[in-house]
A and B are shown apart, each in its own frame.
Chain A
């Protein structure tokens, strides 16, 4: 049991007042080295910790302290971990997943929000927080007609601070662009890293999809849209550098599959890839058992494993060690390296979520689009 809790319970079941004071005086979850204690107060039949750490049981019951409405659970979490979680409150037949009311830290995603536990030594990177000194870029909207995707695609375009048409810029195309903006704070990250000279001032096309699992699941129409429609449209309207090493694709999960697939289909077009927690599911033999939505993905990744080719000259690959996809990402790494691609690979003690992907952006963007940090002293 964690020390703070031991202190509370040292003299037997604490009174309500003592519990009130204890909750006021501490931050939750309680962190003491690798020991992390989750605490909940209330009336219920049972309370479970719900998390997405691959390798641990997905639900773990909290224990009630006799004579009180206080529940607790201590687990081991490695240093510098970041864990998203919820509490499951069970009363009779009713099951309710809630955010931890004692923990103000939350992370949002397209499905809502989760509570966040910071393990010992983890802190939100300062370059991901708003910096009043960083000159802001701006976002403009483009409409890109597409035969491949049968309709007009709305694309937001990030233009860096002090953008000028007399200069040429590298291009990054982002899958799930809206989600990167909202949940990975991509604009703040871009503004800050450009200001810090750690990445090149670049133009970023933020794309999305209304049929994500199909379009991002190794769909050749999507690859065609990117290379044959979006890229020429952007080149016609924006001052871009016309070299593959100045063009990149970024995506997470299925977005990473889409990025790799698009680059693999059109080799020599996209010189840079940032692949975050890619859903690089494959099967050596038999059925992949991930469900039909993965069929096209598995076909692609199996083909890629046979013939990796050279989809890009420089790739940033990352994955959380708490993700079930860690195996697939560790497996694809040597394939990329054997193709003569310069790969930087990073693992994090985190899961399949947007703030994990946010936390990797400095390393990924500075690797693929390095800035003039060493040369510019303003």
Chain B
């Protein structure tokens, strides 16, 4: 298990990665995963310049494509599995829409004992649905693992061996943002978690989401649809007790106390943390610490500073 996990916000306008790496006492080499950038995976000049140390590109996006090109049965199996997972997600969403609509209606009622009772029950229903969905997804993943053992198949194992050697000579792993499902699939296929060992990990945006316990997708005001936060899947679980929310100020109506309260209460006891600007969370195995000004969603609908755990 990674010795320390640092979660950062988006790095485009206010890069804090280098400081985070330095404060972990690392001066290189740093292994990077930019698979979330998809076909732009290799366009990491800015990242290299910012880190200003030796950078080792793990190239998970391209390795994934290469492995599947060489292992057509696995590629087809993964495609079928993807279709099944998408169907699970659609069915979950159908139920979630109604469950969340009820909770939203109740949370906006005038306060009172009766309302609170029903609100608790409504939130419980949503939490139950989230757990149900995660359990089904875990079963799918476990069944797939048992049947195919992807990381032991020749094409994947070859890449995995190379990744192990690359990681072995690096002092830290940095995981960038981008497409969270693409990132997660690549991390999973190559079973990167054991290869990380006890190395410190710094992850931002989708990278932060992928290394947490569960990946929660969110946007309160999409151009289509109701804007219901949904659980996508389990994450790598390198850290616990946090739901990272990169770009929260753009994506969430943080001035709507009902929505904030519902979000916070739904995922409690995990803290839903706004990852923006200079926000930084550090996980040291059992405890969290945060830079001053790092905010979380409060169950009372306000934004509160994250206290050390």
Let me know if B10 and A378 touch, CB within 8 A: yes
With A166-B39, A372-B179, A373-B219 as contacts: A378 and B224 at CB distance below 8 Å: no
In the complex, which of the residues B13, B206, B222 contacts A377, with contact meaning CB atoms closer than 8 Å?
B206
Q: A374 on the interface (CB 8 Å rule)?
A: yes
In the complex, which of the residues A133, A198, A370, A377 contacts B180, with contact meaning CB atoms closer than 8 Å?
A377
Let me know if B224 and A375 touch, CB within 8 A: no
Let me know if B224 and A366 touch, CB within 8 A: yes
Secondary structure class of chain B's binding surface, majority of residues:
mixed
With A164-B39, A166-B39 as contacts: A376 and B179 at CB distance below 8 Å: yes
Let me know if B178 and A376 touch, CB within 8 A: yes
With A166-B39, A167-B39 as contacts: A374 and B177 at CB distance below 8 Å: no
Q: B40 on the interface (CB 8 Å rule)?
A: yes
Residues of A159-198 contacting chain B, CB below 8 A: 162, 164, 166-167, 198
Let me know if B179 and A362 touch, CB within 8 A: no
**Of B12, B179, B223, most A-chain CB atoms within 10 Å:** B223
CA–CA, A367 and B247, complex, Å: 23
With A162-B40, A166-B39 as contacts: A377 and B223 at CB distance below 8 Å: no
Q: A102 on the interface (CB 8 Å rule)?
A: no
Please tell me the size bucket of the interface on B: 20 to 34
Q: B241 on the interface (CB 8 Å rule)?
A: no
The A/B interface has a contact count, at CB < 8 Å, of: 53
Interface string of B172-190 (1 = CB under 8 A from A): 0000011111100000000
Least CB distance, B51 to chain A, in whole angstroms? 17
Q: B209 on the interface (CB 8 Å rule)?
A: yes
Contacts of A133 in B (CB 8 A): 13
Contacts of B178 in A (CB 8 A): 376-378
**Of B181, B182, B224, B247, most A-chain CB atoms within 10 Å:** B224
CA–CA, A362 and B221, complex, Å: 12
CA–CA, A162 and B38, complex, Å: 12
Contacts of B206 in A (CB 8 A): 376-378
Residues of B156-196 contacting chain A, CB below 8 A: 177-182
Q: A363 on the interface (CB 8 Å rule)?
A: yes
CA–CA, A372 and B181, complex, Å: 11
Let me know if B222 and A374 touch, CB within 8 A: yes
Contacts of B219 in A (CB 8 A): 373-374
Let me know if A378 and B12 touch, CB within 8 A: yes
CA–CA, A133 and B219, complex, Å: 19
With A162-B40, A166-B39 as contacts: A376 and B223 at CB distance below 8 Å: no
CA–CA, A336 and B36, complex, Å: 39
Residues of A325-378 contacting chain B, CB below 8 A: 362-363, 366-367, 370, 372-378
Q: B261 on the interface (CB 8 Å rule)?
A: no
CA–CA, A52 and B177, complex, Å: 49
Chain B, residue nearest A362 (CB):
B223
Chain B, residue nearest A197 (CB):
B219
CA–CA, A305 and B130, complex, Å: 46
Least CB distance, A222 to chain B, in whole angstroms? 30
Contacts of B222 in A (CB 8 A): 198, 366, 373-374
CA–CA, A375 and B86, complex, Å: 13
Let me know if A198 and B39 touch, CB within 8 A: no
Q: B217 on the interface (CB 8 Å rule)?
A: yes
Q: B205 on the interface (CB 8 Å rule)?
A: yes
CA–CA, A48 and B108, complex, Å: 48
CA–CA, A373 and B180, complex, Å: 11
Contacts of B230 in A (CB 8 A): 374
Q: B246 on the interface (CB 8 Å rule)?
A: yes
Least CB distance, B14 to chain A, in whole angstroms? 12
With A198-B223, A366-B223, A367-B224 as contacts: A377 and B205 at CB distance below 8 Å: yes
In the complex, which of the residues B10, B12, B179 contacts A375, with contact meaning CB atoms closer than 8 Å?
B179
CA–CA, A241 and B300, complex, Å: 47
Residues of B221-245 contacting chain A, CB below 8 A: 222-224, 230
Least CB distance, A268 to chain B, in whole angstroms? 23
Let me know if B39 and A377 touch, CB within 8 A: no
Let me know if A375 and B39 touch, CB within 8 A: no
With A375-B179, A377-B178, A377-B206 as contacts: A370 and B39 at CB distance below 8 Å: no
Least CB distance, B24 to chain A, in whole angstroms? 23
Contacts of B247 in A (CB 8 A): 377-378
Let me know if A377 and B224 touch, CB within 8 A: no
Chain A, residue nearest B229 (CB):
A374
Least CB distance, B82 to chain A, in whole angstroms? 13
CA–CA, A370 and B10, complex, Å: 23
Contacts of B36 in A (CB 8 A): 376, 378
Contacts of B205 in A (CB 8 A): 377-378
Contacts of B182 in A (CB 8 A): 375
Let me know if A378 and B177 touch, CB within 8 A: yes
Residues of B116-158 contacting chain A, CB below 8 A: none
CA–CA, A372 and B40, complex, Å: 16
CA–CA, A89 and B36, complex, Å: 61
CA–CA, A289 and B15, complex, Å: 64
Question: Would you give 5 A-B contacts (Cβ < 8 Å), ordered by A?
Answer: A162-B40, A167-B39, A198-B222, A375-B217, A378-B205
Mark B residues whose CB is within 8 Å of A: 10, 12-13, 36, 39-40, 177-182, 205-206, 209, 217, 219, 222-224, 230, 246-247
Mark A residues whose CB is within 8 Å of B: 133, 162, 164, 166-167, 198, 362-363, 366-367, 370, 372-378
**Nearest 4 Cβ contacts at the A-B interface:** A366-B223, A377-B206, A377-B205, A377-B246
